[in-house]
Amino acid sequence: MGTKYQLGAKIGYLVQIRTPDLHAIRSISSCLKGQWRRTFEKMHGNLLQILEIETKLEALEALVQYYDAPARCFTCRDFQMAPTLEEYKRLLGLPLAESRSYFHQDQAPSWGTIARLLKVLEEEITRVKRNRPTLKNVDLFRVWENWSAFMDTLGLLIYGILLFPQLEDYVDLVAIGVFLAKKNKGENPVMAVLVDTYYSLNQCGERRRGVLRCCTPLLYLWLTSHLFQCKHSTTCPIEDFKWSWIPPMTKEEWVRKLDEASEKSIRWYPPWNEREHVIIKCEGYPNVPLLGTQGAINYNPKLMV
């Protein structure tokens, strides 16, 4: 990392890519229709659509080998690229200008607060958490007749398993805290999602091994939007992905795709990614310090603009 790029030369990091099993959540979300689905989308942007994306492990296994930890970007043949706040806000469908960003304060919500959110007794939450300090297999059938509570439960599952994954098939207290900040205060989770992605990439890069713990479907969506040309012009990033018709590829084919990509062939500005003011520095600092749920990082979007 941080060295001159050579075609075909890979670091060989032993990084595990874990993508969440989203089939159960997809089945649950399919029950949300009409006005209730529109209400959920107004609050949570593109999350239901991102939920449907099938992430290719091979693509991310290849991508992480190009990550340059000191520069906070992916270094390819003759260019560098990195996901930005502006891109992630459009992919998530959560405009930054309409609300303040979420800042993690390491203060977990109480079990009473969670019980009230899920419309269950606190004693039941206490019973569920005895074996592990997380929520598992919450009985959704209790809230089926209450669509407001149903949407909250679905939101918790998406935040905990898709956006802020820690333990497989568990929703931890940190994710619940982010969800409550969005629901009760309108705080935007985009920055936290992006920072957790960089933080996990940096952890893996510095140790030359590890498990990538971040919203992998979103990282995959970002990658494909720059590598593949869409067959139709659309301002929706999810539609852009669907119309790109990405073929099945092995890890070796993804490596070759990244190896052969160049500054001229990469798609810098998909139709959904309008050119606008990009935050490239903070005050007198030459980079942008950001805070997520796992820690703080700084990144350098100036390298890509």
How far apart CA 305 and CA 287 sit, in angstroms, is 13
Query: To 5 degrees, how large is the angle CA 83–CA 97–CA 269?
Result: 35
Does residue 49 form part of some domain?
A: no
- Residue 65 and residue 203 share a domain: yes
What's the confidence (pLDDT) of residue 225? 94
Using pLDDT thresholds of 50, 70 and 90, give the confidence band for residue 43: very high
pLDDT value, residue 64: 94
In whole numbers, what is the pLDDT of the chain averaged over residues?
85
> Residue 67 phi/psi, 5° resolution?
-75, 130
Q: How would residue 198 be classed by pLDDT, with cut points 50, 70 and 90?
A: very high
Whether 93 and 223 share a structural domain? yes
Looking at the structure, tell me whether residues 275 and 209 fall in a common domain: yes
Q: Are residues 175 and 216 in the same domain?
A: no
Domain of 263?
Answer: 1-19+55-103+187-305
Q: Does 137 fall in a domain?
A: yes
Give residue-wise pLDDT tens across range 23-37: 989 988 988 889 999
- Indicate whether 282 and 193 sit together in one domain: yes
Does residue 50 sit within a domain? Answer: no
Residue 92 near residue 45 (C-beta atoms within 8 A): yes
Q: Are residue 96 and residue 83 in the same domain, yes or no?
A: yes
CB-facing half-sphere around the CA of 34: CA atoms within 13 A: 2
Is the pLDDT at 6 greater than 60, yes or no? no
Is residue 80's pLDDT more than 50?
yes
Q: If phi over 0 gives left and psi between -120 and 50 gives alpha, with beta otherwise, what is residue 117?
A: alpha
pLDDT of 141 higher than 90: no
Among 157, 185, 213, the domain-final residue is 185
The tens digit of pLDDT for each residue in 143-195 reads: 556 788 889 989 999 999 999 998 888 888 999 999 999 999 999 999 999 99
In the prediction, which pLDDT does 253 show?
A: 96
Does the pLDDT at position 242 exceed 70? Answer: yes
Same domain, 303 and 216: yes
141 and 253 together in one domain: no
Residue 283, helix vs strand vs coil: coil
63-76 tens-digit pLDDT: 999 999 888 899 98
Half-sphere exposure of 11 (CA within 13 A, CB side): 26
**What mean pLDDT is predicted for residues 239-265?**
92
Average pLDDT over every residue of 107-136:
70
| Total domains, the chain | 2
Lowest mean pLDDT among 7-11, 46-50, 218-222: 7-11
Domain shared by 153 and 290, yes or no: no
β-sheet bridge partners, residue 188: 101
Backbone angles phi, psi at 86, to 5 degrees: -65, -35
Question: pLDDT tens digits, residue range 213-228?
Answer: 999 999 999 999 999 9
The average pLDDT across 54-71 equals 93
Q: Which pLDDT value is given to residue 7?
A: 41
- Identify the residue with better confidence: 3 or 15: 15
Classify residue 153: in a domain, yes or no. yes
Do 180 and 198 lie in one domain? The reply is no
Domain boundary among 137, 158, 185: 185
Out of 127-136, 246-255, 268-277, the most confident range is 246-255
How far apart (Å, rounded) are the C-alpha atoms in residues 11 and 218? 24
Q: Please check whether residues 125 and 180 belong to one and the same domain.
A: yes
Q: Which residue, 121, 156, 185, sits at the end of a domain?
A: 185
Residue 172 lies in a domain: yes
Q: What is the pLDDT of residue 137?
A: 41
Q: Is the per-residue pLDDT at 205 higher than 90? A: no
Whether residue 138 is found in the same domain as residue 217: no
Q: What is the pLDDT of residue 159?
A: 97
Residues contacting 206, CB < 8 A, separation 6+: 69
Whether 257 is in a domain gets the answer yes
